[in-house]
Structures are given as C-alpha cells and as structure tokens.
Amino acid sequence: MGSERGAAAPAPGDVLELEIGPVAHGGHCVARWHGAGDDGPGRVVFVRHALPGERVRARVTEAGDRAKFWRADAVEVLEASPDRVESAWPEAGPGGVGGGELAHVRLDAQRAWKAAVLREQLQRLAHLDRDVPVLALPGDDERGGLGWRTRVGFLADREGRAGMRRFRSHDVLPVERMPLMSDALAELDLLSRRWRPGARVEAVAPAGGDSPLVLVDDQPFDVRRGKADPRPNARSAVREQVRVGEREWTYRVAGAGFWQVHREAPAALTGAVLGALGDAAGATVLDLYSGAGLFTLPLADAVGESGTVVAVEGDARAVRDARRNVHDRPQVALHAGDVAGVLASGAAGGGADAVVLDPPRVGAGRDVVRAVAALAPSRVVYVACDPAALARDVAYLAEEGYALAEVTGYDLFPMTHHVEAVALLTR
C-alpha cells in the first residue's frame, strides 16, 4: 500500500490505497499506511466513509510527519463490505457536510458499529468486558433511518442559500436535501428559500403538541409571509409532549433551547431512566444537568408528594424553561448553577437515595463523580451521549465503589456515529 506520490510521505489531497480495519470512536475506521522501507506497524489513518474489511482509495485530508495520526476520506471502493449500501445522503459524503457519516452503512450494521464502539470504550477506559445492545427507536426501521429529526439548523452562504458546514471546517456548503429532518420540517421548504447571507436558520417541529416554529438569528420568522415576525408576543417556544405507558407530560421549551432531536428520544430515555430507578416513592433523587426538565417531571411524579427531586442545571435559558415546567411540583427544588459548584456548596442537600446524571458530551468528570458518591446514593442512573465520556465516568464511579449493573445503547441518531446510552450503577 502506498501513495501515488511514490515514497514521499502523503500530503493532503494525495490518494492512498488502504485496507480498512476496525471501527473507532468518532465515525471512522482505522487503517495503517506503510511508506517505503517501513517495516513497523505503519502510520494510523482514520478513514471516514469506509467499512471494516474494505479495500479503498482514500484522499488524505489531514497529514504531517509530526501528527500522531492522519485523516482521510474513502473516495473509491475497490472491495466493498456486504454492509455497504448506496448513501442515503450523498451531500454528507467525502468532502461534504458533517452529520451523516454513516449514511453508506446498512441500518442494522450502523447499530452493530455503535455497539462495537461502546464495547471498545468500556474495555479501554473502564477495563470492563461488556457487550452493549444498541436498540432502534420506534419507526426508524420503517423509515430507513430517515425523517427522525425534529430540530434542524442551517447557515446561509454568501449567496443566501441554506447550507451546513463542511466536515471539520467553517466553510458553508449549500444543501439541496436533508433527509434526516421530519416530514413537518421538510414541508417548510427551507432549503429552496433565499436568506440573508450569514443568517442562522433554526426550525423546530415537535413530535407532538405544537406546530412548527422557525427562528432566524434567534428571532421568530413567519414562513408564510417570508419575513421576520416583529410582534413582541411572537411565539419563540414550543410545547413538547412525552408519553411513557399511561403517563404523559407536557413541557414548554425555547425554540433555540436544548431538547432531544429524535422524535422518539424523550420517551425512550424517560422510560429507560424510570425503569433503572425502580420504585422511588418517597425517595430523594438528584437530577443533575436537568435541562428544561425532561426527567425532572417524571421523577417528581415517581417520588410523589412525600419525596424530593433536586434538579441542577447551569444553562440560564434551560432553567427558565424548567421553572415553568415544574411550577406545580412542590417536591422539586431547582438550582441554577454549575453542577460541581452546586454540589460543593451543599445546596443539593446532604444525601440522596438515587442520582440521575445527564451530562454534556464531555461527561461529568472526576470532581462531580466524587461529589455524587459523597451523597451515598444506592444507585446512579447515567445518561450518556458520548461513549468515551461514559467509560471514563464509569471508571471514576468504580473508584468510589459503584459497579456497572446495566448498560443499554439507543440509536437516537441514525446515519451518524452518535449513540446514546443509559447505564445503571449500584453500590
């Protein structure tokens, strides 16, 4: 295997012929390039748009003699994997926009890919051998993994065309299709409009409860009239409804605020958290990184009027939404502030029966884990959006005496490498 330049080290733009190895965290596979006279293990190349076992020609996108690894995009498949399919979103292919790096992979193989990453991260960072199932959400198989996004965002390029950023770049590429967005969003026809160059366009179409909402640079936009809605009372938030079994909860969420983007994700995660929590009547439960209150409301109902839910969130907009959402739940104490700081201050109380953690992509970290362990909960329910962060925090919790009892993956982001997981840790 070599470069078309011959013996010289590859440079960005060069094309290498590579044998593709295993999947790795981040949406790529691992290959190795051997230069002339290289008898060692070879230089690691992270290759996107490939599959394990394939032989491809890959265009180098990042390289350098001092780099620990190189990056490349597979641009020609010489020997294809049986898991390869025609891309569901070519605009997210080599050289294209980010957000659809597994669109060339059969849907069940995408879940196997994500399960392999979860297993590898737990093994490498937490020293646990654990097979992790990755479950599909209702409706995804029938839709071919498309049409699941209830929230999308676009940037207008210099000509006012709606686009997205090129992968690992600030460049905006116009897009004609975005097959991951829901039918309700597609019907808004946002991609065919011309926008003010540089405008940021965000659209929300709740899975249940409200009509779509469009914001341009955070201002409500009247799609029918094709212009901003200047009224001071113009709608800037949406109602979201979440149903688990016979229970249903209604939330108010700012249009530009955080909410799970898959139409079935709020219900799937809420059901998983409540299931892992078990009987919580009368308990004291901490809901850390509580956002707009997705879990806070169900937890309040689970502990009942004799229990307590202590919710902690650092984002001011999410806290404003949460205050509205929990206003009629007197058993909820809501704290605004950095989670580590609130825990260190003692404001969250001196003990807890259970803790629910839903940290951002970087994870909770050692300080928060230690503070959680100091509260001596009998169980910790961890909702993770990053396998590496989950594995690191599981290792930290193990140092504090908590063992991983259960972990399940959820395919909340078909066609991408992202995967959510819910883990239960017990003392």
The predicted-structure confidence for 115-138, as pLDDT tens digits, reads as follows: 999 999 999 999 999 999 999 999
Residue whose C-alpha is closest to residue 412's, from 424, 397, 422: 422
Which pTM was predicted? 0.94
For 57, half-sphere exposure in the C-beta direction (CA atoms, 13 angstrom radius) is: 8
> What is the assigned CATH class of domain 15-84?
mainly beta
d(CA 275, CA 101): 32
Site of tokens 């002339």:
36
What percent of the chain is predicted at pLDDT more than 70? 97
Is the pLDDT confidence value at 163 over 50? yes
C-alpha dihedral sign at 18, 19, 24, 26: positive
Residue 159, pLDDT score:
97
The whole-number pLDDT of residue 3 equals 44
Least confident interval from 4-13, 275-284, 408-417 = 4-13
| Interval 262-283: pLDDT, tens | 999 999 999 999 999 999 999 9
Question: Is the model's pLDDT at 154 over the cut of 80?
Answer: yes
Interval 16-23 mean pLDDT: 97
Instruction: Please state the domain extents for the chain.
Output: 15-84, 114-139+262-426, 151-240
pLDDT per residue as tens digits for the range 363-395: 999 999 999 999 999 999 999 999 999 999 999
CA 306-307-310 angle, to 5 degrees, is 145
- The predicted model gives 142-169 an average pLDDT of 97
What's at 63, amino acid-wise? A
Kindly list the distances between the CA atom of residue 390 and the CA atoms of 171, 186, 230, 373, in Å, as whole numbers in the listed order. 31, 34, 44, 16
Q: Is 29 a catalytic residue?
A: no
- Which tens digit of pLDDT belongs to each residue from 300-331? 999 999 999 999 999 999 999 999 999 999 99
Q: What is the pLDDT of residue 21?
A: 97
User: Is it true that domain 114-139+262-426 has CATH number 3.40.50.150?
Assistant: yes
* Greatest CA separation for the chain: 74
**How wide is the angle at C-alpha 94 spanned by C-alphas 88 and 100, nearest 5°?**
40
pLDDT value for 39: 63
Write the pLDDT tens digit of every residue in 210-245: 899 999 999 999 998 999 998 889 999 999 999 999
Chain centroid to Cα 342, Å, comes to: 25
For CA atoms 191, 196, 197, 201, the dihedral sign is negative
C-beta of residue 329 within 8 angstroms of C-beta of residue 300: yes
Per annotation, catalytic residue among 385, 397, 407, 419: 385
